Amino acid sequence: MKILLHGCNGRMGRVITRLIEESQVPEMQVVCGVDMNPGKLDNTYPVFPSLKEVPADIRPDVVIDFSHPSSVVNLLDFGLSRHVPLVIGTSGIAPEQRQKISDAAQKIPVLMSANMSLGISLVLSLVAQAAQVLGKSFDIEIVEKHHSQKIDAPSGTAVMIADAINAALGNSMDYVYGRRGDDESLKRKPNQIGIHAVRGGTIVGEHDAIFAGPGEVVEIRHAALSRDIFGYGALEAARFLPGKPPELYSMKDVIESKAV
């Protein structure tokens, strides 16, 4: 399988390159990379500064994207013009960009997930179940922690968790991002999900969904100890996507395909 790695010299791009070059996934090959700093690393494959500069004779089977939300339009243009499936792992994508991705997925297969790990997919199922059981009699808060260099807040994964809870409650909840002040308006309302971001050090990623009720607290927690889990997930997504009909897929589709 021939992979074009978009954002190849970033944190996740380096992880995926290492996993493939260590032959832990020997059936895959990075045929080229794209990065705004093409000479940053001594890559073993050609690296171009933009998708527009990828030669026509390089024909990847799939693109794995861990770049920046500002690159979404160029990424979709490349996928559509070259008829190449896209795995989008970039976080911080705005609602209007999500709509463009959904539109593109009507013509090419696209898999988008703010978190590629198997564990987070399980967490999404668990928080939805907890919301259905505990209902609105419990207050719900989400706390996410990441490294000091993360540029978006809250994390895409925190939003995924909130959305899973909200969907289980009929999309009746409002999101509150942090709290500050000392007036009556800051008292917690029953139809709210609080989302809080912590940034520091080299934390890979931690997410806590807290259900606080009368006399008891239930917490569902996920901690990423290595970025390798996201890399393996992205490669599983890349293995899953080629040959699929045009549609917007998620990691849930990948997991369900492996369970069959």
The residue written with tokens 């696209």 in the block is 110
User: Is 146 one of the annotated active-site residues of the chain?
Assistant: yes
Choice among 6, 68, 145, 146 that is catalytic:
146
Distances (CA, A) of 75 to 96, 181, 228: 15, 42, 24
Distance in angstroms (rounded) separating the CA atoms of residues 10 and 7: 6
Peptide bond connecting 69 to the previous residue in cis, omega within 30 degrees of 0: no
Distance in angstroms (rounded) separating the CA atoms of residues 247 and 196: 32
User: Is 150 one of the annotated active-site residues of the chain?
Assistant: yes
Q: Cite the DSSP H helix spans in 83-197.
A: 95-104, 118-134, 156-168
Of the candidates 208, 145, 154, 151, the one whose C-alpha atom is nearest the C-alpha of residue 176 is: 154
Distance in angstroms (rounded) separating the CA atoms of residues 115 and 234: 9
Distance in angstroms (rounded) separating the CA atoms of residues 191 and 43: 50
Q: Cite the DSSP H helix spans in 106-250.
A: 118-134, 156-168, 228-240
Q: Which residues contact 33 (CB under 8 A, 6 or more apart)?
A: 4, 5, 6, 8, 9, 13, 17, 43, 45, 46, 47, 48
Choice among 2, 100, 150, 244 that is catalytic:
150
* Catalytic sites, residue numbers: 146, 150
